[in-house]
Structure 1
Amino acid sequence: MAQSPTSSAVRALQLELKKMKNEPVEGFRISLADDDNIFEWEVAIFGPPGTLYEGGYFKAIMKFPNDYPYNPPSVRFLTKMWHPNIYENGEVCISILHPPIDDPQSGELPSERWNPTQNVRTVLLSIISLLNEPNTFSPANVDASVMYRRWRESKDQEEYETIIRKQVAESKKDAVKDGVTVPTTVNEYCIMAKPRQMATSGNMDDFYDDDYMEDDDDDDYDNCAYEEDEDDSGHGDS
């Protein structure tokens, strides 16, 4: 029998959605696929400037379990993606999306997996980082992983870059269709968060919102999660 959604899961997702709409975040946009279903979100990730993905508009679906945040969401790209850590069906394979269990055979530390202090923002920022810095040690797409390694090791191997450039170009058609202007510079890409307001005794929702969403590991992302590296052509060491 399928587990029914918990009220705490609904509350957690409502708070996250409210916070992210009130404080837009760099690198992506979110909305509900269906206003009556808080457990399925539409996501659009912008390709980071200075990378192969610059100017790209990559659409995905994020689905949440009924016991969120105790178990992780899943993320599946709708945009065609050729990437070592994305399956052919678009599903993202990344440690932060793996359940919080101790599995020595996976090669992952428990601290690398999902935990209830994570949230939508940390997941999506991790995926954005993964685009330009794939994990080729346990790939979801072996062919893409081999091609990426060859590309990193030799500038003569341009097949990987060519595929990504074509997919970026195709994704721009969706941006035009959706009426979205994709940021292509660091200044456009980075969105400064609004200052937090002090909670008052008469508005405990605001207090709970900030307290629930606070993540000590997020300090590096306070201004912008992505910083362009002018010396990184994509062929340097990870």
Structure 2
Amino acid sequence: MAHGHHVASSQKALMLEMKSLQDEPVEGFRITLVDESDLYNWEVAIFGPPNTHYEGGYFKAQIKFPIDYPYSPPAFRFLTKMWHPNIYEVRERTTLTLSVITQSPLSLAFPLHNSPTTILLSVISLLNEPNTSSPANVDASVMYRKWRDSKGKDREFTEIIRKQVHATKVDAERDGVKVPTTLAEYCVRTRAPPPDEGSNLFYDDYYDDEDLEDEEDGEDCCYDEDDSGTEES
């Protein structure tokens, strides 16, 4: 009986999560169910944020939810090979442990660190700013620190990432996905589509001109660029 109750309540929670992500997608992500009849298994496509080393990258991951979600956290795993201080390398698959995410500053702002949206935002913030205090991949962490401390002169870390990003183009082509490479595309492409032709007025009012200009300039349209970028330039 208890098991049945968990299934019913977790399915309801997951349906709501999925609906809210479809209504207000997280920029830079596309979420699909691996199998339409299974709410517990999500496939995630992550687009590398423009103006970062991950620009143009198409990274696939999966989120598996437990039967007693949201009381137990989901498991997040990258399917694309990733070289990063906070991602374990497990044979061909790479796993990002949620313990890292729940310790990241972003999660502390949200007590509900189990929500898919928070997990996705945490993943993006970790890609941009690795947490080297308890690395899952020590070699990647050492390499990242060399790059950071040399103010970008030691390029070993970024070269590996660029190679991995380049390798993901094959996956993107196979899946028929156009990866956004400008901030405007990154922000707009993943938004819900505009209303029907008939109601263009609403759409024009909704984005006033300032917003559009901001997007052209590529300023803060959807995620905060990390501060370390300003010191290095």
Coarse TM-score class (shorter-chain normalised):
0.7 to 0.9
In structure 2, relative to structure 1, the CA distance for the partners of 1:113 and 1:59 (3 Å cut) is same
| CA distance in structure 1 between the partners assigned to 2:65 and 2:144 by the alignment | 31
SS of residue in 2 equivalent to 1:38: coil
When structure 1 is superposed on structure 2, of 27-36 and 154-163 the one drifting more is: 154-163
| CA distance in structure 2 between the partners assigned to 1:231 and 1:69 by the alignment | 34
- Corresponding residue of 1:141: 137
Is 1:112 paired with 2:108? yes
Q: Identify which of 91, 96, 99 aligns with 1:92.
A: 96
Q: Give 1:225 shift.
A: 4.0
Q: Confirm or deny: 8 A CA contact 2:57 2:166 kept in the other structure.
A: yes
| CA distance in structure 1 between the partners assigned to 2:226 and 2:59 by the alignment | 22
SS of residue in 1 equivalent to 2:40: strand
Cα deviations across residues 136-195 of structure 1 (Å, max 9, x unaligned)? 00001011000000011113321111100000001121111111111111111114866x
Cα deviations across residues 93-121 of structure 1 (Å, max 9, x unaligned)? 344755xxxxxxxx889x73984464111
| CA distance in structure 1 between the partners assigned to 2:126 and 2:228 by the alignment | 18
Q: Confirm or deny: 8 A CA contact 1:47 1:54 kept in the other structure.
A: yes
Whichever residue aligns with residue 120 of structure 2, its letter is L
In structure 2, relative to structure 1, the CA distance for the partners of 1:131 and 1:7 (3 Å cut) is same
Structure 1 residues 199-238: aligned runs within 5 Å: 225-228=222-225, 232=229, 235=232
In structure 2, relative to structure 1, the CA distance for the partners of 1:187 and 1:77 (3 Å cut) is same
- Corresponding residue of 1:166: 163
- Corresponding residue of 2:126: 130
Q: Give 1:19 shift.
A: 2.1
| CA distance in structure 2 between the partners assigned to 1:234 and 1:12 by the alignment | 43
TM-score of the pair, normalised by structure 1 = 0.73
| CA distance in structure 2 between the partners assigned to 1:11 and 1:108 by the alignment | 28
Q: Give 1:12 shift.
A: 0.5
Structure 1 residues 49-88: aligned runs within 5 Å: 49-88=50-89
Q: Identify which of 172, 176, 181 aligns with 1:179.
A: 176
| CA distance in structure 2 between the partners assigned to 1:234 and 1:64 by the alignment | 40
| CA distance in structure 2 between the partners assigned to 1:131 and 1:123 by the alignment | 12
Once superposed, what is the RMSD of the aligned Cα atoms? 2.9
Structure 2: which 5+ residue stretches go unaligned? 193-219
Larger relative helix fraction: 2
When structure 1 is superposed on structure 2, of 153-162 and 166-175 the one drifting more is: 153-162
Q: How many residues align?
A: 197
Structure 1: which 5+ residue stretches go unaligned? 99-106, 195-222
| CA distance in structure 1 between the partners assigned to 2:9 and 2:119 by the alignment | 20
Q: Confirm or deny: 8 A CA contact 1:183 1:189 kept in the other structure.
A: yes
SS of residue in 1 equivalent to 2:46: strand
Q: Confirm or deny: 8 A CA contact 1:53 1:168 kept in the other structure.
A: yes
| CA distance in structure 2 between the partners assigned to 1:189 and 1:31 by the alignment | 18
Cα deviations across residues 74-93 of structure 1 (Å, max 9, x unaligned)? 11111000000000021113
